[in-house]
Amino acid sequence: MSTPESSSQPSLVQQSRDGDVLILTINNPPVNAFSPGVPEGLKAGLDAAAADDSVRAVVIIGGGRTFVAGADIRTFDLPREQSPDLRGTIEKLDAFTKPTVAAIHGTALGGGLELAMGCTYRVAVPGAQVGLPEVKLGVLPGAGGTQRLPRVVGAAKALDMMLSGNPIKATEAGQLGLIDRIIDGDLLAGAVEFAREMADARPLPRISERSVPGATPDVFAAARQGIGKTHRGQLSPSLIVDLAEMAATVPFQEGWDAEATKFMEAKDSPQSRGLRHIFFAERESAKIPGITKDTPTTEIKSAGIIGAGTMGGGIAMNFLNAGIPVTIVETQQEALDRGLSVIRRNYENTAKKGRMSMDDVETRMGLLTPTLDMGDLKDADIIIEAVFENMDVKKDIFTRLDGIAKPGAILASNTSTLDVNEIASVTSRPESVIGLHFFSPANVMKLLEIVRAEKTSDTVLATSMALAKKIKKVGVVVGVCDGFVGNRMVHRYGDEARQIVEEGARPEDVDASMNALGLPMGPFQMSDMAGLDIGHAIRQHQAKVAGQPKPDGWLDRIVETGRKGQKTQGGIYDYDETRRPIPNADMQALIETYRTEKGITPREITQEESTRRLAYSLVNEGAKILEEGIAQRAGDIDVIYIYGYGFPAYRGGPMQYASEQGLKNVVADLEKYGQTPAPLLKRLADEGKTFAQYDAEKGRA
């Protein structure tokens, strides 16, 4: 095994020697991103290797847990001349006259893989992963990736990797020729040995000199057609296809130059700003003031779930998927049997699609214990109540749980609107009570609102955050209020949508205005899916509590005809067997009659007006939520909307979208359409700030 002579340059790249091989170790924790200082260090290392005749080859390796995870995304907004010179480093590698070997562990992503492809050879440990995920940040591989990857793995595979952004395992990369040797033992020792074996290889094989295998016109045509469906409305995917085609059709240098221009175009787009915002917002949302790595957590080795309906069953699947045994409770055998058969059917459907084996199905079902006795939850580390939204029922369950659950067990409610403090108050241990609001279908949707009640302990909160990660959810901490963050905003959004129809728009036009923004479903498509009776009941309840007359909006009238949405085969829309919404003439007539009765003269509402009013109604409520401290950051609200409500990630979430529009313009539009801007929104607009600036300032305070 090789023992490099150590050197202690205070640089991000350390030089050391193993005989005739120079080793360049990049040390830029946590992920060795290509930050300022890395290119300088690598170039200095290459100069040293070129000047020293005793160096026959160079190995580039990452210190710590990974190879280079990509360009440093935090430097994307720097002026061009201050950006780390990744392209210049790769040009230098491509022109280098001695063999260079990239030694990969962890991940070589984006600029990291591009750096590796600029080397003569690549070796990797079997567990490493390589990929070009730039599309997920709204950019494209901008340091040769679009030109080199197709030359190595062929046009179709390169397009697949660059358009999905998903990494592949080193073993697969080895089969594709992207990795030259898999090293099972000590990576550095193996890389040095490989470099020595190749030290005299001449001419040096350069990827830039190869042609692209499998570059038929139909491959690019198919990719263009595919992104129309998978990446509708996005800029960078089509640029990626254009550049991959150039790799096959023009000399390397021309493609390399074009890539630089297109990279800048994508990087400077609002879409890339939105996606980068979400990348960091998601990571930031995992941080909670007062909760540190040292906050004690408990290990969740078993879970109890009360309610085997759609929600309870979906929640159970998350735990089963993570290998955590679940005891699921119902009050009636029939409901229990039905719940279990739905879970089994879901798994079997996944197996039919080839995404799981039948053995996996049985393993998961084997972790599930059905029972009619709540007493069977006495040993569970966490118990999640998922019964219907009724405070009295929930209080009764929590009172009983208090007598059953072991000390230290987490008692969680999946309520989507109710007061978790009130629920906690019926127990003798409110510090153990928390809200865990899953989104339907709970086995699919990534969001988990973690509702911190007044007395929830830090341990319970930290454990819930860790649990979210374990069951592959994006956990966002929110405070207690009616509807928490997501549903409180969506209620306001629903009010505005109904108002727009009342003033003259057709429901399908309102939905289209949100589809145009990139949401897969507009407000009415969403209500029909969720069930119109739910919103109707909430409106009735709210009016009763406020001592107001029974609500009689046009949507209430639709519900009263018996049409409750998709579950009754029709609501605002009719549905065909593919669940496509089809406007219904009778419902249109009902709306018109309603307007006539109320003396409303319908006016034409443009798509733009509808989009703005709806998006800004979310933003305005979001600003109130932020000011009340129900959400910690505007970025948290964006994460909630992207993972829970289908807001397009490339818009960065509603708050980022508003910042892109200019908060001054948002305020002006709200006022124009009769809404009162939230004080925080108005203040930021007056100060010429964005929500991201607000978050940053708050984070520093």
List active site positions. 114, 134
> Is residue 26 involved in binding ligand 3H9 (CB under 6 A)?
no
CB 156 within 8 A of CB 295: no
> Is residue 625 involved in binding ligand 3H9 (CB under 6 A)?
no
Residue span binding ligand 3H9 (CB under 6 A) among the ranges 136-144, 246-254, 349-357, 398-406: 136-144
> Is residue 142 involved in binding ligand 3H9 (CB under 6 A)?
yes
Tell whether the torsion through CA atoms of 225, 227, 229 and 233 is positive or negative.
negative
> Is residue 509 involved in binding ligand 3H9 (CB under 6 A)?
no
> Is residue 109 involved in binding ligand 3H9 (CB under 6 A)?
yes
Residue span binding ligand 3H9 (CB under 6 A) among the ranges 119-127, 140-148, 581-589, 630-638: 140-148
CB 179 within 8 A of CB 124: yes
564-584 burial string, b = 16+ CB within 10 Å, else e?
Answer: bbbebebbbbbbeeeeebeeb
> Is residue 655 involved in binding ligand 3H9 (CB under 6 A)?
no
Least separation, in Å, of the C-beta of 88 and ligand 3H9?
10
Burial of 95 (0-12, 13-18, 19+ CB in 10 A): exposed
> Is residue 486 involved in binding ligand 3H9 (CB under 6 A)?
no
The amino acid sitting at 379 is: D
Strands, sheet with 181-182, edge to edge from the N-terminal-most edge strand: 13-18, 21-26, 57-62, 100-104, 121-124, 181-182
> Is residue 453 involved in binding ligand 3H9 (CB under 6 A)?
no
Binding residues for ligand 3H9, total number by CB under 6 A = 26
Between 41 and 70, whose beta carbon lies closer to ligand 3H9? 70
- What is the rounded distance in angstroms from the CA atom of residue 356 to the CA atom of residue 76? 39
CA distances 657 to 272, 488, 521, 651, 654, Å, are: 12, 19, 18, 6, 5
* Helix or strand holding residue 450 (H, E): strand 447-451
Least separation, in Å, of the C-beta of 194 and ligand 3H9?
25
Which 89-108 positions form the footprint of ligand 3H9 (CB under 6 A)? 107
**Residue in 6, 88, 175, 283 binding ligand 3H9, rule: CB under 6 A:** 283
**Residue in 38, 42, 55, 73 binding ligand 3H9, rule: CB under 6 A:** 73
Q: What angle do CA 492, 650, 617 make, to 5 degrees?
A: 15
> Is residue 114 involved in binding ligand 3H9 (CB under 6 A)?
yes
Residue span binding ligand 3H9 (CB under 6 A) among the ranges 142-150, 191-199, 351-359, 382-390: 142-150
Q: Among residues 115, 110, 109, which one has the least CA distance to residue 128?
A: 109
Tell whether the torsion through CA atoms of 190, 196, 197 and 201 is positive or negative.
positive
**Residue in 12, 57, 86, 329 binding ligand 3H9, rule: CB under 6 A:** 86
> Is residue 237 involved in binding ligand 3H9 (CB under 6 A)?
no
- What is the rounded distance in angstroms from the CA atom of residue 189 to the CA atom of residue 526? 57
Give the CA count within 13 Å in the CB-facing half-sphere of 373: 4
**Residue in 71, 183, 368, 678 binding ligand 3H9, rule: CB under 6 A:** 71
**Residue in 12, 135, 143, 246 binding ligand 3H9, rule: CB under 6 A:** 143
Residues 6+ apart with CB under 8 A from 456: 424, 430, 431, 433, 434
The residues that bridge with 108 in the sheet, in sequence order, are: 130
Residue span binding ligand 3H9 (CB under 6 A) among the ranges 141-149, 151-159, 630-638, 683-691: 141-149
Q: Among residues 482, 468, 288, which one has the least CA distance to residue 382?
A: 468
> Is residue 622 involved in binding ligand 3H9 (CB under 6 A)?
no
- What is the rounded distance in angstroms from the CA atom of residue 143 to the CA atom of residue 149? 11
Between 263 and 554, whose beta carbon lies closer to ligand 3H9? 263
Least separation, in Å, of the C-beta of 297 and ligand 3H9?
18
Give the β-pairing of 581-583 and 573-575.
antiparallel
> Is residue 70 involved in binding ligand 3H9 (CB under 6 A)?
yes
> Is residue 670 involved in binding ligand 3H9 (CB under 6 A)?
no
> Is residue 137 involved in binding ligand 3H9 (CB under 6 A)?
yes
Which 536-595 positions form the footprint of ligand 3H9 (CB under 6 A)? none
**Residue in 4, 138, 141, 652 binding ligand 3H9, rule: CB under 6 A:** 141
- What is the rounded distance in angstroms from the CA atom of residue 323 to the CA atom of residue 332? 27
Q: Among residues 56, 50, 47, which one has the least CA distance to residue 21?
A: 56
CB 148 within 8 A of CB 111: no
The one-character DSSP state at 6 is P
Between 133 and 581, whose beta carbon lies closer to ligand 3H9? 133
Between 234 and 566, whose beta carbon lies closer to ligand 3H9? 234
Between 263 and 438, whose beta carbon lies closer to ligand 3H9? 263
Q: What angle do CA 255, 256, 259 make, to 5 degrees?
A: 85
Q: Among residues 41, 36, 16, which one has the least CA distance to residue 26?
A: 41
> Is residue 85 involved in binding ligand 3H9 (CB under 6 A)?
no
- What is the rounded distance in angstroms from the CA atom of residue 579 to the CA atom of residue 176? 41
The residues that bridge with 328 in the sheet, in sequence order, are: 305, 370
Give the β-pairing of 433-438 and 447-451.
antiparallel
Residue span binding ligand 3H9 (CB under 6 A) among the ranges 49-57, 138-146, 321-329, 474-482: 138-146
* Helix or strand holding residue 328 (H, E): strand 326-329
Least separation, in Å, of the C-beta of 34 and ligand 3H9?
7
Give the CA count within 13 Å in the CB-facing half-sphere of 186: 8
Q: Is 670 helix (H, G, I), strand (E, B) or coil?
A: helix
Least separation, in Å, of the C-beta of 112 and ligand 3H9?
7
Between 70 and 314, whose beta carbon lies closer to ligand 3H9? 70
Residue span binding ligand 3H9 (CB under 6 A) among the ranges 29-37, 200-208, 399-407, 646-654: 29-37
**Residue in 41, 99, 118, 133 binding ligand 3H9, rule: CB under 6 A:** 133
**Residue in 62, 111, 190, 255 binding ligand 3H9, rule: CB under 6 A:** 111
> Is residue 695 involved in binding ligand 3H9 (CB under 6 A)?
no
> Is residue 110 involved in binding ligand 3H9 (CB under 6 A)?
yes
Residue span binding ligand 3H9 (CB under 6 A) among the ranges 134-142, 455-463, 509-517, 666-674: 134-142
Residue span binding ligand 3H9 (CB under 6 A) among the ranges 71-79, 356-364, 544-552, 574-582: 71-79
> Is residue 145 involved in binding ligand 3H9 (CB under 6 A)?
yes
**Residue in 69, 450, 497, 619 binding ligand 3H9, rule: CB under 6 A:** 69
Neighbours of 419 (CB within 10 A): 17
**What residues line the site for ligand 3H9 (CB under 6 A)?**
30-31, 33, 69-74, 86, 107, 109-111, 114, 133-134, 137, 139, 141-143, 145, 263, 280, 283
